[in-house]
Every structure is written in structure tokens, then in C-alpha cells.
Structure 1
């Protein structure tokens, strides 16, 4: 019996749900991380801990709430996601159907929070189960999972991060689910297929996190080298609002310039402007997308001393608070490198 006739018979006998399940192609699963990739990523070093934290706080959850404005730019982009910060990266990994997620933050606690995310993703088969692990009811089970971690130093850091961040992340996840359902934008913590993909990333060791400084000499240089060894380009770079906390030194510009950006790569940044709420997407931040290679061209110029220099070029879209930064930097008289 051919497949088309089989579907027709199933429908005729009232088994439409079964027929649709047969007809729907299974989501593509990722292969285990190749040994050569693991070796290259394991060589990426960490930068020294900062002398002081930005705003003297551990940003274990994002306070940005309108990443959905960039959904259309990230959807099905594939490839490598490089990100700063915490929870938004998991939304973007699902939207992109990323094959590899590389996460950097200069706060060790944030890197340890990613250890918790990866652990929870590996254990929880559904988005609901994942979110519940962060609840007060799920806390004992989560603590058991952390206690079973084999590396003593990583276990101690993860236990401290869980104590500090669990209830904050639980609140964040509940809020995100509510907001994204209202926006009718699917994401990993509401959509079964996207959750399955992000979970598969965790199961296949395709999510890596480091304590790394965007202005430092170790982690970003190491990521550049690893990606080149892997033969992979950055598809999306979520830099959040990190640029507000540093100027573009020569090292910082080199770190950001020399990443291997794909031709259609996206840089997504936010810029805090709470005093200009009508220019924001969520009451606090402008959201801006820029081509990665155009960003690299800005980083090649000594005159690019801060993100403000780039953000002045923003162009509004039809969506409030969402901007594009078109093209490479405009020419300037005289030589600049």
C-alpha cells in the first residue's frame, strides 16, 4: 500500500491525528559534538576575574524583555550563536536552530548559571519540567542534580549559583512564558520543538560557557581560533548592552573585529534609554540589529571608541524600539585604522 493511500484510509477511519503524526517529518537531531570540536573548544582560556562587577551585581537573569522584535532576523539562521548574558541566548538558540552555542560573561557566577541551565536541560524532557526545576517545589531535585556533579570545584560553584539565582530565574522564566504567549512568538520555554532543539544542544555538548571579558586577551581570542579550527562562522552575536560598560580599546576592537562572521550574520545589541521610553521596545531598551561583517568594519577603525559611535547610525523600523544599523561605517577624510 502506498503512503498516500495509507493516509487516506487513516483519515477515513477517524485517525486524523495519527495520520498527521506520520506525515510530519521528525525534527532533525544534532550529532554528538565531534572530538576535534571538543578539543578546539577545550583550548579556549578564561580571562582574569574583574576587579569590580558592572553595577556591583550578578546579572543572573536578563532585564531585557523584547527580544521578540528580532525574531524574524534570527529565525532559522542556523550555525553558531555567540552570546553574552543569560536567558535570552536560549531563546535565540531555539529561533536560530543553532548548531553550537558559545557563551561569554566576565562574571564567573553567570558562567556557573549556564552550568545550571545545561544541567536542567539535560534532565528535563519538556519545557514545563525544565521551568518547574527552578521552582521552590523543584528545588530539592535540582539540588540533587547539582550534588551529583563529578567535578568538586564546579559543583561548589554551581551550588552557590543555585542558592543565589534559583528563585530569580524561576520568576524570570514564568514571566517570559506569559509574555511570549501574549506576543504569539514561539520560544524554547513555550514551544515543544524549540525546547527539544535547545535540549539536544545540551545533550550533545554543544553549549559552552566561559568566564570571558570582551576586552580581555584570552577568551575572545581563543574563540576566534576555535571557530577557525572548526571551519565555522558566527551566525549571530548577541552582545546585549555589554558595550555600555567599556570603551573600545585596541584589544576590544581586535577581539570583536577578528571573529569569523558569516555573510548574513547578525549582531543584536541593546541600548538602555529609560528616559526615552517611546524609543524603546520594552520601556528600557532600544534593540538594534547589524550585519556582523559591517560591525567588524566599524571595529577596524580607531575612531570607533564606543558603541555610541555605532548607534548614532541607527535607523528606525516599523516596530517601536527596534532599529537597524545599515551598512559599513561612512567614510571619513584621512586615514584611520
Structure 2
């Protein structure tokens, strides 16, 4: 299946968001899907669109030169049970619907690898508990390889009455993979969640001995990025990334993770930090083992935040 060189402006729907009825493109059980040279903008900020594009079960998916913007209840690009994935030059952007300088977006890219029978009750072990796989399609393939590169995710900032669990990139139980040379900016919780949430959450044999490399990305002014996991058999490496005003978080405790950091740069600049990041106490979901410098900031008499100086020994 090929969807090439098209532009769409969705003007919304009169019904509430539903997983099937209000998803713009839904593909099931395909051998190969190619999406390229597409522009899709959600015309209304009412979150009545569920997913912009959802693919359930495929041998290979290629997404290239695609622009996705505006509000979605779930994610702009959602891939469930796809074996091999190549994503290149994709932009996910918020839209300033109210013309007030605040941008509304949906989740960016959600990838959930693995199979089940298509029954909602299928479960697997995670952190000593039985939990759902999150995959309901009967057409899901075993994980293969995946690349996300040269893409841009930005502007999820407008406050809303209900918290949306929107990551810029959410990758669950993937195969061998690389997230390379991407840029993330102004992705806040609330209203959204993390810039990158990457994990190995399943322990079946086909999910073991995998390796993920997150390299040469720039994450600027985002609440945090996360790397939960459940198996030491798999590895995640963050190498040569630049994190600016962005915290690291592991909301599953960290004891079962095998995460390696190599040659990353972390910068916290209080003169450039957005107001949404100065007080993280309002975050909708708790995280543990946070690594950041916000706890070290103080307010001098002038009221301008700064970092507490380190004492020399």
C-alpha cells in the first residue's frame, strides 16, 4: 500500500473521539506500507480525532517526508505489531488554534511491537505483575528492526482541562533500533508527557537480546525523557545527545534497567527556561530517580532564578 504526495486539512467531526470511527487512516494486515510526501493538519483543537494514521500488523512500514500537525486524542502515527519500521524526515507540530501563542498537539509517534491473539485480555509479566500488552490486532508481527531519524517534534504547550498522556516518541517492547539525529522542542507535561519514552516491557523470547541506540538527538525545553525497562537481557544506549533544560526520568525505579550513557551533554540555563519547566511539582504523573538541576535553583532578592553555587572543598 502506498499513500504518496497528498495534503489534508481535517475539519473535525461531530462525534466524540473513538479509536476506529475517528481515525483518519487505518491499515490492517499489510505486507508493505509506504507513506511519503504527506501533509496532514487537524483543523480543530477539540481532540475528536483519535489517531491520524494507525497501522495494525505489517511486515514493513516506511514513513518519509511527512508533516503531521494539531490535536489528536491519541497519536499522530501509531504502529502496532509492525515488524520493520523506517521513519525519516517526519515533523510533528502543535497548532496555535486560539492565536494566543500556546500550541495544541497530539502524541507524536507510538510504536508497540509484539504479538497476541487479538484478545483484550492477553497479558504478559511486567515488574512482577501481569499486565496487558496494549496490542489488540490479530495481525501483529514479531519485532524486527526500527529506525527513526532526521525528524522534528515540537510545541505541545497549551494548558487544557484534562491531562493528555502524549509523548513525542513512545516506543514499547521494540526490536533492535536506532533513534538518530532528531530534534525535540517545547514538549511539556502537562499538557503532554515526555519527549522520548523508550522501553523493553515484555519478556517473551522474541523480545530478548535486543539493543536500542539513541544518538545525536537534541532535546530542548522538554519536561523530561524516560527510559523504563524490565529486562537486563536488553540494552539501551544514549550516546552523543544534547539535553537542554530537560530532565532525565525513570518511572519504573531503575533497578531492572540496563541503560548506558556515553558522551551526552546536559545544559540547564535558567535565563532561557520556559515558565512551564520552572516548577515541575504540577506534573500529572509521578516519576522516580529524577536527574535534573531544578532542585538546586534558588531565588535571590531580585527574584530571578539562578543555580545555587557549589562549595569548594
TM-score by length of 2: 0.28
Structure having the higher Rg? 1
Of structures 1 and 2, the one with the larger relative CO (CA 8 A, separation 6+) is 1
TM-score using structure 1 length: 0.27
> More strand per residue: 1 or 2?
2
